[in-house]
Structure 1
């Protein structure tokens, strides 16, 4: 086979271990997955009720335009319907953007550590990549500007950032956008937008009139609790969306996913509840880390990146043996840390108890 040469340098995505796999491996009856930033409260009850009674013509292709969902999102964000692009999760939209704009002749800029799909797709398209390391836990936007050259096509901004959870202040973001040339697409990936509680935060969709070269990514996989349906969307100028639609596969979102996302938009109270519960538990993690002198990134998401004693893989394995699946920082570009999805009060109690045992064991082994 005549594969692209770059594929020899890329490894396939390796998913985390499933709860059933961990149960069997460690002979456990109860395992809590806190590794993929899913919503521990599930989805809205109205969505669950809808799913129990929904009847759909399985033999008919999906509405490739997502007509009803498109209209509701346009109303929610006060934009034209032509300003919305749907994807099979935000991952597919990142692939669409990369395929539309990147090749071996162009250049792209992104933060590191951050969501790995930016670099993954850029490498496949053969683009020249500049990765800008975080500075003081945040995007170094000044270095982003300095890295721009005449071949730069896309700048990726993850806000809040994954895996650190850090947020770019409104003033810094707007100042940055003012300095980016208008012919460069700035992708603002806001998968965790619904979890942000910092008052110094901007809804980037409201910036579209001032900065028509931005594209805002959102998803139903996180706060809406619909990760299994793979439903993401982008909001941007109709001109940008039109070009991206030329790359998008027809019928890329299935009928059930579109219907469920449409229903989920009706329940703002559920999102408000999840945000409040998440913030309460996020403060709990912050206090836990502070009291024990453990560094934890300042998060505005539904996960925390917390320092561990010793190797991150070893800490992850220790927590697995206690029934908690977390993500090792060794796989995220943050060695010495683990990423923990913020669960329910009960789930977090168990995780923090296991973490305390880990700390105690490390202290005893060093004595």
Structure 2
């Protein structure tokens, strides 16, 4: 089912739902929440980044899948440091779905989860074939390999790309003289009509650079246009939150919030978020809230929505520097399960039956806190941290 058909099926869907999320305030959570057994590793713990897939191993794994299965591996571009931006196509049905992981180099569990997903598709099976009857899956399993590169030497990976410090540009969203590395997830407005950007975001079109300061992002934008993507799911990590029952929140989601995104695209996006929530919230390992992301068109979730696509952000607990290795297996399972449920819902048609208003049943944002940092000591950076 192509995007135009999908979107036509959404007309007239309406409704409102509510969901109680607990009877105690997060203010009642005890300090024991962050002691052993809580969300943070001990101070003495070493974070072993070598336990994750290196850039070299990622390329080798994808190459083997290409040679030994019917998955197609290619490069869609190069990073600032000359690394390939990897891409895998799982050929199938008429609905084109793009999964993007590790726009931020320090958000590695999403890549581990999508590699498990690709291994599943390479192995085949009845359920896989049911998905492939309806869906062609496009995977960018590490958009920002430069950001991850330090981890290959067991050093802390970086969020941004590796644009050299002496390369600068003026930009409509962040002002003049922007030099050095940039956030790939802030460069998705290229190709959107400048009048739309001016009207919805109040930016100066004359400040739009001639070239995208994130070649990694531009490679994704070009590929999404080439395959005429119907849906783009963007997989990230966030800091630590807890809900009103003092439970760790390990999954969050949000849809396009820019006013230029067509209603049909927003409704499809809300269906995806709601379906993921409904299918995983009772499994015992996933606790959800709604991510309070921004509205500007430079963010992937909004930019692809403006382009008329289903576009959903998924955020999972744990920046690289906040996690030891103890939680790796559970987090990868949570992410991989969500990835699979979306594809199975698309293939069965169950996802299209979800009322978009059901997305409002996802609990609102939980309580956000920092290790050893009382709220009164939060800086503007802490308050403003975004996807």
Q: TM-score of the superposition, structure 2-length normalised? A: 0.26
Larger Rg belongs to: 1
Q: TM-score of the superposition, structure 1-length normalised? A: 0.27
